[in-house]
A and B are shown apart, each in its own frame.
Chain A
Amino acid sequence: MDSSTTASARSPRLANVPVWLLALVPLALIAAALAAFVVLGAPGLDERRGPPIEELAVEQTVLRPGVIELTVRNAGPDPVEVAQVFVNDAYVDFENDTDPVGRLGTQKLTLNYPWNEGQPYLITMLTSTGATIEHEIELAVETPEAGAGFFALMAALGTYVGVVPVLLGMLFLPLLRQVREHWLRMFLAFTIGLLAFLALDGSLEGLELVEGGSGALGGPTLVFVGAAGGYLALVAVESYLKARREKASVAGASELQLALLVAVGIGLHNLGEGLAIGSAYAVGSLALGTFLVVGFALHNTTEGLAIVAPISRRSPSLPTLAGLGLIAGAPAILGAFLGASAYNPEVAGLLLGVGVGAIVQVVQQLVPSIRDRAGRALYPASVGGILAGVAVLYATGLLIPN
């Protein structure tokens, strides 16, 4: 065929055809082929052998006086009809909003049951085929209502564990200003250690959270997808800012930009942390109290240090510093609120993953700033700094009651 031998970018035969049509034609043909396959009932292929596969995952449990409300997601391939429900071996009346629940669909089941605070409950959903799907409530606690008091409590919680510690950590800025160059590099190495620990911690926590989800939306994959997305998004933002800076030839803005990136990465991490705290509070498994706040404060104070380390040779204004602190700390408030009100483990896992990706990108950005005069990134002092950062976060993490 002569068209195949044509070396030019566009085949002369198709030169007059609009490009959008070249995109549309294959898409239309693909859609038509798939539609025909569906309409003809998958010719040549048998239905699956064996009984229907029924899977439901409980994504949210809400307890109100005399009522247990479950939001379930169909994580299996076949529609599921919840025919009856029993709680601790007694059938209960219930209502649901859709029936049956299709693949990936959700359904809210409202059970009439006189539950008692502090007791465990085993809820068994009996499907139309007689299969049983169980859900355990470890300790029944009334779900907080999303009123003004609840908002205030979540705001206070997010402020205590996110905003205040980060701002306190930034108080190390005057110290950093005074230290010599090689000491500063060590502080930056310390920051890298902190962030590396946060990345690991966020990954593990994200994977643990998605365990509690239905898996229908992707499960553990979401954490990695989030990490890749977070990383690439920050790379894009960074390259955009760099290009703009070069155009405007603003000198010395890169340190501030680095601090901003660190704040964003930490902010995303704190959003995930807030989600975990909020959801734990909602199900009553969070020991609110002095230890939680003290533990998180010490833990997150080091995050403040990480933000100011890159800008210690500059003199940022107080509003700039406050802004950086809020970017890093305030997402904990939003996270706490979301976690306690509309919690989905897989969404939480995705957000923690985004935080991990962002942090990895920030670490990559920080590495040049710890290079010594010989250009090495890893030398005894920097390695010591990194390990110290890891050790401090590990140790302060132990103070947080689980």
Chain B
Amino acid sequence: MKDAETYCVALFEAVSHVMKAEKLLKEAGIRYKIVPVPKSISADCGVCVRFLPEHKEAIMEVLQRQVRVIEIRNL
């Protein structure tokens, strides 16, 4: 099951930043998923980008200088 995998999430300042990141990641063909910010991180009604740890470097490469990532967290 997928649930058994470990994931990372990238947190952003604003929903518009998540949308921009989504566009860039889609273009780059990197596997990601938009999910609600886990309750354990924040009770706000936010969204974030979830991905497998092995894609972390590729994702940071694509997003750098284009969208500001506040934080990467392991789930």
Instruction: Please determine whether chains A and B interact with each other in the same assembly.
Output: no
